[in-house]
Amino acid sequence: MSATLADLIEVQIVSPGDDCAVYEFDPHGKGLRLKAIHRTSKPAPFDLAEVPESSLENTDNVPVWLLTHPSVFPGTFVTARPIGLLRSKDEASELRWVIAVPQADPQTETIRAIGDLPEEKRQALSRYARNGSDEEDILLHWEPAAEALNWIHQSKQETRIARARQEKAGTAQPAWKPLGYLVSGARRAHETEPNSDAEYAYHQLPARFQKYVDEYLASDERILFAVNRPTMKSALRKSFFSRATRHEGILFVTDQQLSLVTEILPPGVSNIRYGYIADTSPLERIEAIAAEALDDQVAVLSVKWQAASGSQLVRWEFPRKALDELREVARIAANWQPRPNDRRLRRAAPIELPEIPLRDPAANDPNETVPVAQRLTDAIAREVSGEEKVLARALLPGRFDRRGCAEVIVVTTCRLLRIPDPAMSTGAPRAIEVRHIASLEFCESILESYLAAHYVEQGRVHTERIAYPFTGVGFRDCFLALRRQMVVRF
């Protein structure tokens, strides 16, 4: 009996239950290339997944135990068929998980209910739900697939209602997002029209780039100018045999930053969004900017970012025909440079962000990070005192360290901090003063995600690179707070 659309759900892998291969698209070979081997921190008889958009902030989505073999790498979307619901209850709490199988696996075609699973598999799931013990005070109850589908349907419906209420209550639409589907180059009907020509061009971007822009730009930002860059060969990075490829990207001038957002890999035939890398710094940090033709094929925008103890030079390549647009970018950005007897107002207030609890959404047991989070919260209180204020923070799980030592990433009004778990390390926190940071790099990808700060010490540019899980919480807030604070601490 084949499954109907009503029987299927879309899930995203959060944490594989076993080691698995991670692939990336190779544009030169036009096929998949092995990128890495994902090592799971806690083996499980399933891949932990979640139902996207089943909670208001996507921080408490419906959890799914996906019975796969072999395991699927993190971030992958899977069409799954629920076969049951597992409830775990003790004196303190009650938990529940959707049990599902991948629709694409022909070996699971006959599995329609929990009773269709081998007894050994059911026992393995039960042991895992009891945290590996046989404690009788933890009661387990199996329910049919219909209950799992009802839970998912109810969660999604409640999420839609909550978001509608937010919008009705006056949740502001991003300032940069255009009001209508007008084409690039359209002229405003009157001076009070709230969107620029560059913002109207948003709807002409490929769908995947619209998604990147939605994730990357702050809601109160205004796009002043934008330049598209197609995939092209580099004139600056080349060897004797070949030239490096510059992937498709968009250069943004907003009222807050100058930023090049580049696609990591083209989507290929599978149409997978691999994510983006954003190179950016506040406009106030521009020491010098100029556009020039490198040859008859390539134009370059050169930007010198200024820090308290030196500067960093970056050069962004574009097709030669974009030279006039790059000169317009340079003209607009130069307006933020200091002038003699300058009395223009500057942004000087740190950003206010809601405090996000330190947690790891990919943890197989949500409670296992509670003591780690408490130790790190206490460590933040010991390290940050006086007039210094915490602006944003994020938990870096121990599985991202070869020693298994968790860290907390903290952005304050003065510093970028990496504070290790005191129970695992006696080392001092790693600290970089915001005023020494020249530019930032932010990467959101199912292949690799990281936040990098390029800072200057004794005239030399160094990089602090913080790799974090794609499912991590709070890292975008850390990036946004750091970028905003670079204007204040300068």
Alpha carbon separation from 324 to 222, 231, 331 (Å, rounded): 22, 19, 11
With cut-offs at 50, 70 and 90, classify the pLDDT of residue 168. low
CATH class for the region spanning 366-488: mainly beta
- The pLDDT value given to residue 124: 92
* pLDDT over threshold 50, residue 183: no
pTM for the whole thing?
A: 0.68
* pLDDT over threshold 80, residue 286: yes
* pLDDT over threshold 70, residue 352: yes
CATH match of 197-334 with 2.30.29.30: yes
Helix H or strand E encompassing 351: none
Q: Which percentage of the chain shows pLDDT scores above 90?
A: 45
* pLDDT over threshold 50, residue 239: yes
Of 203-207, 222-226, 436-440, which gets the smallest average pLDDT?
Answer: 203-207
Q: What is the DSSP letter of 231?
A: S
* pLDDT over threshold 50, residue 370: yes
Give Cβ neighbours of residue 124 (< 8 Å, ≥ 6 apart): 45
pLDDT tens digits along 7-48: 899 999 998 999 998 887 777 776 788 888 888 878 999 999
- Section 297-307 average pLDDT: 95
Q: How many CB atoms lie within 10 A of CB 220?
A: 12
- The pLDDT value given to residue 187: 44
Q: What is the DSSP letter of 247?
A: P
Helix H or strand E encompassing 129: helix 119-129
What phi and psi values does residue 382 have, to the nearest 5 degrees?
A: -75, -35
* pLDDT over threshold 80, residue 1: no
Give Cβ neighbours of residue 476 (< 8 Å, ≥ 6 apart): 215, 442, 444
- SS3 labels along 391-421: EEEEEECHHHCCCCCCEEEEEECCEEEEEEC
- Section 190-203 average pLDDT: 61
Alpha carbon separation from 103 to 68, 81, 110, 121 (Å, rounded): 10, 6, 11, 18
Residue among 308, 266, 313 nearest 288 (CA): 313
- The pLDDT value given to residue 214: 82
pLDDT tens digits along 468-478: 988 788 899 99
Alpha carbon separation from 217 to 73, 221, 258, 383 (Å, rounded): 28, 7, 11, 31
Residues 85 and 77 sit within 8 Å (Cβ to Cβ): no
- Domain locations in the chain? 5-165, 197-334, 366-488
- The pLDDT value given to residue 354: 74
With cut-offs at 50, 70 and 90, classify the pLDDT of residue 189. very low
- Section 178-194 average pLDDT: 45
Counting beta carbons within 10 angstroms of the beta carbon of residue 82, is it exposed (0 to 12), middle (13 to 18) or buried (19 or more)?
buried
Alpha carbon separation from 447 to 74, 321, 344, 404, 477 (Å, rounded): 8, 33, 43, 21, 20
pLDDT tens digits along 94-111: 889 999 999 999 988 899
Tokens for 167? 């919008």
Same fold, 5-165 and 366-488: no
Assign residue 439 a region: left if phi > 0, alpha if psi is -120 to 50, beta otherwise?
beta
CATH match of 5-165 with 3.40.190.10: no
pLDDT tens digits along 402-444: 788 999 999 999 999 999 999 888 888 999 999 999 999 999 8
* pLDDT over threshold 80, residue 336: yes
Average pLDDT, the chain: 84
Check the CA dihedral 50-72-361-143 and report its sign.
positive
Cα angle 131-137-138, degrees, rounded to a multiple of 5:
40
- The pLDDT value given to residue 150: 92
Residues 24 and 37 sit within 8 Å (Cβ to Cβ): no
- The pLDDT value given to residue 445: 82
Counting beta carbons within 10 angstroms of the beta carbon of residue 224, is it exposed (0 to 12), middle (13 to 18) or buried (19 or more)?
buried
Counting beta carbons within 10 angstroms of the beta carbon of residue 177, is it exposed (0 to 12), middle (13 to 18) or buried (19 or more)?
middle
Q: Which percentage of the chain shows pLDDT scores above 70?
A: 87
Helix H or strand E encompassing 203: none
Most distant CA pair in the chain, distance: 80
Residues 484 and 351 sit within 8 Å (Cβ to Cβ): yes
More confident residue, 366 or 431: 431
- The pLDDT value given to residue 457: 92
Alpha-carbon Rg for the chain in angstroms? 25
